Amino acid sequence: MFDTLQGRLAATFKNLRGKAKLSDADIDATAREIRIALLEADVNLSVVKEFIAAVKERATGSEVSEALNPSQQIIKIVNEELIRILGGDTRTIRFAKKPPTVIMLAGLQGAGKTTLAGKLAHWLKSEGHSPLLVAADLQRPNAVTQLQVVAQRAGVHGFAPEPGNGVGDPIQVARASMGEAERRLYDVVIVDTAGRLGVDETLMKQAADIKAAVNPDEVLFVVDAMIGQDAVNTAQAFATGVGFDGVVLTKLDGDARGGAALSIARVIGKPIMFASSGEGLKDFDVFHPERMASRILGMGDMLTLIEQAEKTFDEEQSRRAAAKISSKGGTEFGLGDFLEQMKAVRRMGPLSKIFGMLPGMGDLKDQIANIDEKEVDRIEAIILSMTPAERDDPRILNGSRRARIAKGSGRSVSDVNQLVDRFFEARKMMSQLANGQMPAGMPGMPGMPGMGGGVSKRAKAQARKQAKNKRGVSGNPAKRNAPVQDPEPTPVDPAAAFGGHGFDPNQFKGAGGGGDFELPPELQKMFKNQK
C-alpha cells in the first residue's frame, strides 16, 4: 500500500546523501518533494501542511545544521514526525476490571467487520483470553452464518440466537450476549454490528442503541484503508454520531495509496489500534506507529519480524539445531533439521512479507513481489521423498538413491543434486559462522539457485571439462598440462529462486532511503568479486 510513497521518499533522501551541509534551498526542495509525495499518497491536506511545517521548522534549526550527517538527521526528523501523525504511542485494548470486557465493532458495510471480529478473537485467544463472538448484524444476508463460520475457524464460540437476513432485534441479541458471557465465563465479548453502504440515520441510531445496551469498554471503528479520503469523512461522521475509542484499518495489503492510514489518527484524534492485511486469521497485528513509519521509510520492521519468529520457532528445537551446527563441523545437522527450520519460517507468513520486513529491501520490492512460494514446496517434496537415514546423513546419497528421490518427488535428478550440493555448502558456511569463523565464500541456501556466490564441486568439474574441450590440445607440453582455472562465480540474484530476476548488489547501498544501509565488509567484498 505504501510502495509509491516509499519510492518517492527514497528518491528524495537519495538526493541529500553526501552533502556535508544543507542549504535553505536544499531544505525547501526536500520539503517540496515530501509534500508532493504525501499528497500523491492521498494524505489529508491539513495533515500534510502540519507535517511539512514541523519538518521545515526542525530542519532549519540547529538540530540539522550542527549534525555530523545532515541528510540522516533529516530522515530522523521525518521518521519522528511520521510517528507523531500516526498516533505516537502504541495503544491496545483496555480490559475491564471486572470481566467480561465488551468490544463493539462499528463501520460501513464491506469494511470487513465480520472477518475482523474473527481475527480479533483469534488474537485474543492466543493472548490467553476466552472471547465470545456475538452476531448482532441481522441485516446483511448470511452475516450470521458468516460469523459462525469465522468463529469456528478461529476456534472460539459464537452467539447467534437469531437467523438474521432481516429477522430479529440486534439490540436484544447484544443485550442477551452479556448474560451468556457471565453464565459461561467468557472474559471478552466481541459484538459485530450491521453496516450500511453509506452513513445514514438508521445506521447511526442502531449503533448508538447497541452501544447503550451493552455499555462497551471499547468501541472500534473498522475502516477500509483502500477508500482514501472518504475513510476520514466516514470516521468523522461515526465519531460525531456514535463515538468510538480506536480505529482498525483493514485491507492494508491492497494497492490503494494509503493516505487514510496517515490521516485518520491525526484528523480524528483517535489512535489506530489494529491493522489487518489479508484474509487469513493470522493476518492481524497490533498497530505500532514507530514500526509503520520505519516501513514507510524503507528501514524494515525487525521488531515485528523478531516477535513473529519468537512465536513461530520452537525454542528447544532451535537450540538442538544450533548445537548440531556448531559441533563436528556441522555434520550432525541433516536435511530433516533443515526441513523443520524451513517449515517454521513458512509459518511466519509469505516469504515476500518476511523479506519486506528486512532493512534496505525497499529498492528490491519488485523482486520480492515475484518470489515463487512454490519453490519451497518443491524443496520440501524432495526432502520428504528421502528415507530418515538419508535426511540425517545426505552423504549416503548415491546415484540410484538420487534417481529414486527424483522420481518420488516429481523432480529431476539435477534438482536433487542441486539441493544436496547447496545444502553441504550452506551447512559448512553455517558451521563456520557458528564457530566464529568467516567463511571464504557465501554459498546459497539449499536448492535455491541464485541465493549464493559459491560454486558447487559438480559445477566446477563440469566447467573444467568444458574449458578443456574448448581449448583443444596444445602442442606445448607446459600449456597442455596447465591446470584449468575454476569458473568465476555467477552474479547473485536473491529473487531468482522464487521467480524474480535482475538483482544488482549495488541496490543494497542506501536502499529504501532510511539512511545509508551498508552491507558488512565481508559481504561487500564477496559482491565485488562477483562482478
pLDDT for position 376: 82
DSSP string, 398-412: -HHHHHHHHHHHT--
Residue 193 assigned to a binding site: yes
Would you say domain 3-85 falls under CATH 3.20.20.70?
no
- 253 annotated as belonging to a binding site for a ligand: yes
Q: What is the rounded distance in angstroms from the CA atom of residue 348 to the CA atom of residue 403?
A: 33
Please report which residue ranges of 297-397 form alpha helices under DSSP H.
Answer: 302-312, 315-326, 335-347, 351-356, 365-369, 374-384, 388-392
Q: What's the grid cell of residue 469?
A: 574441450
pLDDT confidence of residue 513? 41
Q: Determine the pLDDT at residue 475.
A: 53
What is the residue type of 505? P
Cis, peptide link before residue 100, omega less than 30° from 0: yes
Q: Would you say 110 is a known binding-site residue?
A: yes
Contacts of 266 (CB under 8 A, 6+ apart): 44, 47, 50, 85, 86, 87
Name the CATH code of domain 309-470+483-529 (choices 1.10.10.10, 3.20.20.70, 1.10.260.30, 3.30.70.1050): 1.10.260.30
Q: Is 113 annotated as a binding residue?
A: yes
More confident residue, 505 or 133: 133
Instruction: Please tell me which of 209-213, 367-371, 523-527 the model is most confident about, judged by mean pLDDT.
Output: 209-213
Which is more confidently placed, 462 or 220?
A: 220
Rounded CA gap, 274 and 93, in Å?
Answer: 10
Q: Cα–Cα distance between 92 and 246 in angstroms, integer?
A: 9
196 is in an annotated binding site: yes
Q: Using alpha carbons only, how large is the chain's radius of gyration in Å?
A: 28
Q: What is the pLDDT of residue 491?
A: 44
pLDDT over 60 (residue 61): yes
CATH 3.40.50.300 given to domain 101-297: yes
Residue 60 assigned as binding residue: no
* pLDDT for 64: 64
Q: For residues 271 and 265, what is the distance between their CA atoms, to the nearest angstrom?
A: 5
Is 22 marked as a binding-site residue? no
Asked whether the beta carbons of 247 and 270 are under 8 A apart, the reply is: yes
pLDDT tens digits along 422-444: 888 888 887 777 676 655 544 44
The label of the residue with cell 524503507 reads 298
Q: Tell whether residue 353 is among the known ligand binding residues.
A: no
CA distance 411 to 385: 10
Instruction: Say if residue 6 carries a ligand binding annotation.
Output: no
- Residue 252 is labelled as binding a ligand: yes
Q: Which 8-state DSSP code applies to residue 193?
A: E
Q: Is 109 annotated as a binding residue?
A: yes
Q: State residue 510's pLDDT score.
A: 41
pTM reported for the whole predicted model: 0.64
530/435 Cα distance (integer angstroms): 26
Q: What are the domain boundaries of the chain?
A: 3-85, 101-297, 309-470+483-529
Do the domains 309-470+483-529 and 101-297 match in fold? no
What pLDDT score was predicted for residue 39? 85
Q: Which helix (H) or strand (E) holds 237?
A: helix 229-241
Q: Work out the angle at residue 328's Cα, subtended by the Cα atoms of residues 325 and 334, and round it to the nearest 5 degrees.
A: 50
In this predicted model, what pLDDT tens digit does every residue of 249-287 receive, in sequence order?
888 776 556 677 678 888 888 888 998 887 788 888 888
Q: Which residues contact 311 (CB under 8 A, 6 or more apart)?
A: none
Q: Tell me the one-letter amino acid at 211.
A: K
